[in-house]
Amino acid sequence: MIILDNVSKRYQTRGKGWFSAVEPLSLHIGAGEIFGLMGYSGAGKSTLLRLINLLERPDTGTVTVAGQDLTAMGAAQLRQARQNIGMVFQQFNLLANRTVADNAAFPLEIAGWPSEKIKTRVAECLEIVGLQDRANHYPVQLSGGQKQRVGIARALAPNPQVILADEPTSALDPATTRSVLECLEDINKRFNVTVVIVTHEMSVLRRLCDRAALLHQGRLVETVNIENGMIHAQSEIGRELVRED
Ligand SMILES: Nc1ncnc2c1ncn2[C@@H]1O[C@H](COP(=O)(O)OP(=O)(O)O)[C@@H](O)[C@H]1O
Ligand SMILES: [Mg+2]
């Protein structure tokens, strides 16, 4: 579903030349996987995630999602292709002056869906995330976990094959973390949506992921398998991360 081939990203820093956030790396993520990106703060996890939908354009390499090479596309084609890739953010990024339903409707409005279809699809998505009774509430009236489930409904609305989530539970307490992870898992199982999730929390990896890539200082150190809540890290840094948990 996702093929990263030799992708890399550098940033220009003030006075200190170029900083390499992601060294050239290749990664394949299968359809229907829940795939983690793990590593310490600053490792390049968010940058790598944003390379998948070209929010960051790679300096080298190609990004192929669902058989389409995003790096070869022009702006209009890329906008279209991004309909197939939902994104969920740590700080939810909801619009405060819009209701829950209107937040979830936002990407569909942008994509020019007719209003009747938007209504039906939004109702469906709010039901999937368990917020059908909150449709007319505003974000300020919701708990953190509910806000994130609105974020997930919004990501899901255009019916994407892929959802990218950047630390979706890092702003939440353990109980609401659970509800958000269950929601992502449910969407993965029911609709076979491929999920890529950035997290520094080993508990999230154990609970949710099939495999994860370990990043350290912009390098892909290893890809680890996760079975029955066991993270099978081989590298020194991987074992350290698991041990610290
Ligand atoms: N827009 C940017 N400009 C300059 N440096 C950046 C930018 N975005 C990220 N970085 C740097 O790249 C490195 C990796 O960042 P990031 O991908 O956010 O790491 P992580 O998500 O693993 O914490 C960090 O050192 C960060 O400071
Ligand atoms: Mg990050």
199 Cβ inside 6 Å of ligand 1: no
51 Cβ inside 6 Å of ligand 1: no
Tell me: the pLDDT tens digits for 100-156?
999 999 999 999 999 999 999 999 999 999 999 999 999 999 999 999 999 999 999
The pLDDT of 157-178, averaged and rounded, is 94
Residue-level pLDDT at 140: 97
**Per-residue DSSP letters for 44-101?**
SHHHHHHHHTTSS--SEEEEEETTEEGGG--HHHHHHHHTTEEEE-TT----TTS-HH
- Three-state DSSP class for 17? strand
Ligand 2 being an ion, which residues bring their Cβ within 5 A of it?
46
Q: Spell out the domain ranges in the chain.
A: 2-84+160-244, 101-159
In the chain, the percentage of residues whose pLDDT exceeds 90 is: 95
Please provide the CATH number assigned to the domain covering 2-84+160-244: 3.40.50.300
Evaluate if residue 64 carries a pLDDT over 80: yes
Distance (angstroms) between ligand 1 centre and the Cα of 243 equals 25
Sign of the four-CA dihedral 232, 235, 238, 239: positive
Q: How far apart (Å, rounded) are the C-alpha atoms in residues 212 and 60?
A: 23
Evaluate if residue 31 carries a pLDDT over 80: yes
DSSP state of 112: T
Angle between helices 115-128 and 174-191 (to 10 degrees): 120
Q: How far apart (Å, rounded) are the C-alpha atoms in residues 32 and 40?
A: 26
Asked if 245 and 203 count as a contact pair (C-beta separation under 8 A), the reply is yes
Q: Which ligand is nearest to the CA of 55?
A: 1
Mean pLDDT of the chain: 96
The predicted model scores a pTM of: 0.96
How far is Cα of residue 55 from the mean position of the Cα atoms in its chain? 12
Residue-level pLDDT at 35: 98
**Amino acid in position 25:** L
Residue nearest to atom 2 of ligand 1 (CA): 11
**Amino acid in position 86:** G
Q: How far apart (Å, rounded) are the C-alpha atoms in residues 15 and 97?
A: 40
What number does the ligand 1 atom closest to the CA of 49 have?
A: 17
Tell me: the pLDDT tens digits for 228-245?
999 999 999 999 999 887
DSSP state of 167: S
Phi-psi region of 110 (alpha: psi -120 to 50; beta: other; left: phi over 0): alpha
Tokens of 101: 């339903």
